[in-house]
Chain A
Amino acid sequence: MTALVVHAHPSAASLSRALRDAAIEGLEARGHEVIVHDLYADGFSPAMDAEERLAYDSDNPVVDPQVRTYADALKVVDTVVFVYPTWWWGLPAILKGWFDRVLVPGEALLLERNFGPPRPGLSNIKHVVGITTYGSNRLASRVMPDGGRRLIRRTMHFVGSPRLRTTWLPLYGVEATTAVEREAFIAKVRATTAGL
């Protein structure tokens, strides 16, 4: 079994980084081989440029070798784990850019000639896990849009297996959490990924 962990946080000292490491430990304990896309560490540029935008509609939408590496990893995994902080009701820009640039037609999506709905191109992906922290407490988060969760779940359902399962691991009100609460959440992440 092979899993991909996509991580988006600028700081190695962050809780997000600790969650990423816990997720990897859990997956490896389970016997997964783990591939990591650490977007900040890899210097990933999230903004699709003009050349890529033109190529997007062509037969060769991938022009950047780093995007090629990222897209190839998606073809060999059965599980994708996203670890990121929720900022402004959604994904950090660098992670949105991963969706924009890596999930391309002809690979993630298979377009039909008759303009019908696209078919998934990554039905090898059977499980998606979202691990994220929120500034708002649980009640406040209910009222506001959760663009990250919505985008991840619906997009991965679009490109992945028709029987895709999603697991969501949120931590709310992160700035007000105690060290004990954070440690407990880290342990929960490790146990959940070990139990996938």
Chain B
Amino acid sequence: MRVLVVRTHPRAESFCSAITTAVQAGLDAAGHEHRLLDLYAEGFDPVLSVQEWEGHLSPPESKPQIEEHIRAIRWAEAIVFVHPTWWSGPPAMLRGWLQRVLVHGFAFSLRPNGGPIRGELKWIRRLAVVTTHGSPRWVNNIEGHVGRRQLLRGLRSICATTCRTWWVAMYKLDHSTQKQREDYLVKVEKTFADWEHRIVG
């Protein structure tokens, strides 16, 4: 299976890097091919411009600035998001990637009567979110798990109908011990090492 790993963190030295490495090690163990898209390292601009907004219905081919990202998603069969959760959701950088890259004519099409969009990412059959939270789980319950819903319900709704989802979260990172962080890395690696090869889902 071809897996696109999308990493969002401003610091190369962060725990997020160790997590990304664990994801890749797990995918290697299971024999999956993977590519890394590191949004900060690539200098991705998360802000949708006025030209992009005015041209939001023009064809994807007219948007060379996102062409390589579209190609990366077209190559993939699964997407794994690795990022810290800030204010219950993904960092602005990842929000911007979704908004600028999942364009009309590529990721979705519109229905004439203003009903729900028609999802077009039908080849994406697995979505995984691997994310840390500074605070405990109960805080995130209060905050409403915005990121989980946006990615594993919202984004999932435009992927394959049988798209499977994984949520591998660590809470209380701010007060964690070395052992707790290592245990989490082991859990992450195992999650992806267990990704069996299937035709569907």
Contacts and interface: CB of A to CB of B under 8 A. Distances in A.
Contact of B99 (A88, A140, A158, A173): A88
A42 B24 CA distance: 39
Nearest to B143: A154
A165 B89 CA distance: 23
A93 B96 CA distance: 5
Interface in A107-149: 115, 117-118, 135-137, 140, 143-145, 147
A88 B139 contact: no
A151 B48 contact: no
Nearest to A155: B87
B96 to A, nearest CB: 3
Interface in A34-73: 40, 45-50, 52-54
B137 interface: no
A88 B92 contact: no
B128 to A, nearest CB: 18
Contacts of B12: 50
B92 A145 contact: no
Given A53-B11, A140-B115, A151-B87, A10 B154 contact: no
B88 A151 contact: yes
A88 B157 CA distance: 11
A185 interface: no
Nearest to A177: B114
Contacts of B157: 144
A117 B139 contact: yes
B98 interface: yes
B86 to A, nearest CB: 5
Interface stretch (B145-153, B180-188, B190-198): B145-153
A43 B107 CA distance: 28
A162 interface: no
A96 B89 contact: yes
Contacts of B93: 46-47, 93
B167 to A, nearest CB: 14
B116 A88 contact: no
Contacts of B135: 118
Contacts of A93: 46-48, 92-93, 95-96, 99
Given A48-B91, A96-B87, A96-B92, 10 more contacts: A9-B53, A10-B53, A96-B90, A97-B46, A100-B86, A140-B116, A144-B157, A151-B87, A151-B144, A158-B143
21 contacts: A10-B47, A11-B50, A11-B53, A45-B47, A46-B92, A53-B14, A88-B95, A90-B89, A91-B95, A93-B95, A96-B91, A97-B92, A100-B92, A144-B116, A144-B157, A145-B154, A147-B146, A147-B150, A147-B154, A154-B143, A158-B143
